[in-house]
Amino acid sequence: MIDFEPTPEQKEAIKAAHQLAEELFRPISHYYDEHEHESPQEVIDKVWEKRQEGSLFLGLDTIAALRVEEACWGDAGLYLCLPTPGLGGAAIFATGTQEQLQRFLGNYNEGEPKWGAMAMTEAACGSDTSAISATAVRDGDEWVLNGEKIFVTAGKRAMENPDGVVVVWATVDKSAGRAGMKSFVVQAGTPGANVEKMEKKLGIRASDTITIVFDNCRIPYENILGSPEVRKIDKTKTAGFKKAMATFDATRPIVAAQALGVGRASLDFVKEVLEKEGIEIRYGLPRYKLSALERDVIDMEANYKAAKLLTLRAFWLMDQSLPNSLEASMAKAKAGLAVTKITQKAVEIMGPLGYSRKYLLEKWLRDAKINDIFEGTGQINMLVVARRILDYSREQLK
């Protein structure tokens, strides 16, 4: 028998994260949405205080997934401001050595705040990560990075806070194509790594999103994640590219969990309003006997629950050190699609209530879409899923 009832430990984690989201995030959610680029220091301080008491928003297991969902139920943008290693940390967890884990993330585990980011997207390179043009050239016992990265989530805090890290994707050999692509850790304060621009965004506005320019930025040779060797395995796979892409197996489930939080917030709001109006959802009846409203709400719930099960599966596999590439892309694709549909339908159902700035529902609609975009768009993840299931190469299915 399969049992989806949370364990006592999971229930405590959910309760603590939900309380923090409800009492700390929700009351100031509108303020930081309207005051983009203003740092929510009171949130950072309070969460770090809670972090000292217990391990909030840390790890890559199912409890971490549940905590992330609860935090984003409160506010997804504020969650991305928290002093955690973030997506950069997930990349180091996924591909770094034990020595690198200790060097870059050890102080966080020992009780020091840490911000992390991942710099991948370029002006001429979005979903096709193999087309990255930023370069890393070895010079003795250093790497010299040059290039520009855009849409770096949480990059400003990672670049400006002590012990912050940014994982940068660059090529060590353009002629080698995908085989030449590697990822590197750039630590905060490194000369030649400069914040050039802060984006004004549709959603997750509390979180900073920046452009970083690397101009002869020198980092230690040991800051490369994985092997520096440019080695082809066969015609369809390359060692460097495959290692770098393993990063997504860790980061995509995190984004899926973020989407779950936003989607559930919208769903909870709709059900709360309907309950106050005395409108009951009659579960268990055939669809043809249900009203259009009832069908919509049940479909929203089904999408949310399907996405959650896929997300928990991807986290569980990761926690067991089992391959989860297929499951990570499934979770990300489903969650990104589900949260977009749920929030849009919630606004439609609520009408003026959904469109009014008085309530957070319109904000959740704006916050939702990014989950279908970053860490691989929905279309890209659908392609990954199809290739894995059909055993097709990139060249066979584009």
Active-site amino acid positions: 375
User: What would the two tokens of residue 296 be?
Assistant: 């919509």
Kind of pairing between the strands at 224-225 and 209-220? unpaired
Q: What number of H helices and E strands is found in the chain?
A: 14, 8
Residue spans of beta strands (DSSP E) within the chain: 116-119, 135-139, 142-153, 165-171, 181-187, 193-198, 209-220, 224-225
User: What would the two tokens of residue 33 be?
Assistant: 């949405």
CA distance 199 to 203: 11
CB neighbour list of residue 232: distance below 8 Å, 6 or more residues apart: 176, 179, 238, 239
Burial label, 170 (beta-carbon count in 10 A; 0-12, 13-18, 19+): buried
CA distance 223 to 186: 7
Strand partners, 139: 142
Torsion-angle region of 177 (φ positive above 0: left; ψ -120 to 50: alpha; else: beta):
left
User: What would the two tokens of residue 233 be?
Assistant: 């395995």
CA distance 355 to 35: 20
Cβ–Cβ under 8 Å, residues 95 and 225: yes
CB neighbour list of residue 9: distance below 8 Å, 6 or more residues apart: 63
CA distance 240 to 258: 29
Cβ–Cβ under 8 Å, residues 385 and 329: yes
CA distance 317 to 60: 10
Cα 246 → chain centroid? 14
